[in-house]
Structure 1
Amino acid sequence: MRTLKGLLTIIENDSKKVWRDELDEVQLALNSTRSRVTGFTPTELMFGTRAQSLGLSQISPNLETPSRSDLESIRNRASENIIRSADSQIEKFNRGKARVKRFTQGDFVFIKCSERNQTKLARKFKGPFVIVKVLENDRYELKGMNRSNRIFKYAHENLRLVPKGFEGLVDVATTLINDEEAETAVGENLIDQDPADSDSDTISVSREATLSAGSDTLTASSEIETEMIEHKVQVHAGK
């Protein structure tokens, strides 16, 4: 279509010609132009011979009529050229394609938020989530950091790896504190047990939410549990 548009544009820019009157010449030019992919002209692939203008056909009228075997040979060669060109294009495309660095089970990742459900100032990623299973075709099963056993399935392009080492632990801690879905984040402190060695960094959780009632001290692991214990203490004190 782009080639046809270019030819018609050239004709239209000629003040002595009208593109409607030149369609026969345009058709002949297209049918007699050799394709870079097939190596043959459309007329050769259809009839086994090259298209010629009226003047050239009068100069050489004794052209041999192509046989059926010649036509099949031309089409077979064109088919081979198409396959060779396709393989070359695939190799060229894959040469500049980014390689996927796959995640492993146990890695912490962030999930890219959907653009349809966020504002301009909203967070671009949510999480963190832990990879519980590696699936085929660059897909993963994820699980949240809260108490929920819900499993999510996401493709690789929608995930971002949480940095390892001390910086990664800070990111995880900050996200857990700000994430409304992380129920266990309330009253939890994430501690880097080995900041000097990034490969052996682990996360430990210390819960400090406590309530006192007389001589008894109760420890809660979340805000919800804290409210429940506080209510029980008030009921017991009323008795």
Structure 2
Amino acid sequence: MAADIEHKIKTCGRCIRRKALPEKAAPLVSIQTSRPLELLCMDFLSLEPDTSNTKDILVLTDHFTKFAMAIPTPNQKARTVARSLWDNFIVYYGIPERLHSDQGPDFESKLIRELCEVAGIQKCRTTPYHPRGNPVERFNRTLLNMLGTLEKKQKSKWREYVKPLVHAYNCTRNEVTGFTPYELMFGRSPRLPVDLAFGLPVTNNHPQPHSQYVHDLKQRLEESYQIASRNAAKNAGRNKARFDQHVKPSKLEVGDRVLVRNVRVRGKHKLSDKWEQDIFVVVKQAGDLPVYTVKPENKDGPNRTLHRDLLLPCGFLPVAEPSVEILPVPEPRLTRLQSRTMHESAEESGGEDNFMVEVAVNPTVEPKKFTVERTRVANLSPSRNVQSLDPETLPAIGLENLPDPVVVNSPDPLDVNLPAPVDESESEIENLPENSPVMPDDLPDHLPSPPNPSLLDVPLDDDNPGENGNSETNLFEPQNLECIPNLPDAEPTLRRSIRHRSPPKRFNYASLGNPLIYVVQTLLHSLSDALGASTDASSPAVHIV
């Protein structure tokens, strides 16, 4: 029972992704160089901004001689890196054989790649999230310790102390090589302020020709390089033995299933998993180095080249079925009018902080309803008579366009004003046949007026009142159509505005004035009036001008 529980816990995918610790399964591999400028390492070091708002330092280190340079930069852009590398290193010390950096976008840009192609430099890089593969990281710690020893006032101007401190480092004996970086780079010892303080003489006071100086320099450099190489190899062996004591070697084979360390999280991630959810498969190994190329097992994705310490074997986990990723549906963006309307509706509903907005997933489109507004043809008075109309002349009016019968509700007697006649040549009304039936729905919206415009009087029957107590008269009933007078062919006139139009009024002054003096005078007159009102009515008012 206990063995089954232990096996279940060790093979639980959820527990492994959360609780499994990273393991040191790869032995230490040291970088070997034998001459100056064979490998130039670079990296960025970010600090607190100083008084000039500078916070980035481009650090360059020659791997063999340990000669270092630190260049304060305003930013970490690729153009800044290329300019600093060319102006501060290449033009003084020469072109390096290889350029080593991490996979930052400023070092892997197209500009840096073109610079390396033009200068004949081989570009190499570390594996992702493996700073141990870049030797310049060790000098970053040394530079931070030196800058940290400055006084508080000096730290606000740390840019002024970077180069002197780096020069002091280059003139100090290195434990790895046994020589100073300055001596291995230039073949001689520098003359320092301490030599002047103690009055130390120059080492060689005897003049010698240039050829002899060059011959001696070559011998010294060759001897120094050999000693430095032996010391560096010895130191690397000690470091490897010390590091490998805590390593449990575990080599991966092609086809092994592994989990990748979850190193892409940002911000607070105390509850996140230590390993990614997807399972990867090993594709190949980079020679004898503990660097592997992996690809996703159950989905398409790019291959990733990672160090062995970022991989965890998981052959015991079940094969997960390929799952369809459901992308979240983005919420529609509201316009300003919609946001304002929603806010106003929320306030009208009671001003509560929490309200619900209902959104129909599959809304059904309701049929649109149209309301036809009918124009009242005539407001008729019950006290007047209507002239008789000849039915034979009705087709000429254009009855095919007449509207539905209009019921006139007129509690009070009103007059009827019909439009003026229009020329027949301008009318677009088509003549109907003689025997065509006349329908009330075909009547036009506006009836033209007779040649002699007059008011139409239609007698209303007071004995048949309509709803709401109003009398109703249908003008287009058959019995009422017979009494419509003969009207000429015409079309409704356009409605025109009766508003009086005039140019805008503008203030014109005959001469320039001084509004400030006018305001002051008005204020003084008001004060004098107030003082005069408070005094005796018999005393004269005093005005101050």
Same fold (TM over 0.5): no
TM-score scaled by length of structure 1: 0.39
Pick the structure with more helix per residue. Answer: 1
Structure number with greater CO (CA < 8 Å, separation at least 6) is: 2
Pick the structure with more strand per residue. Answer: 1
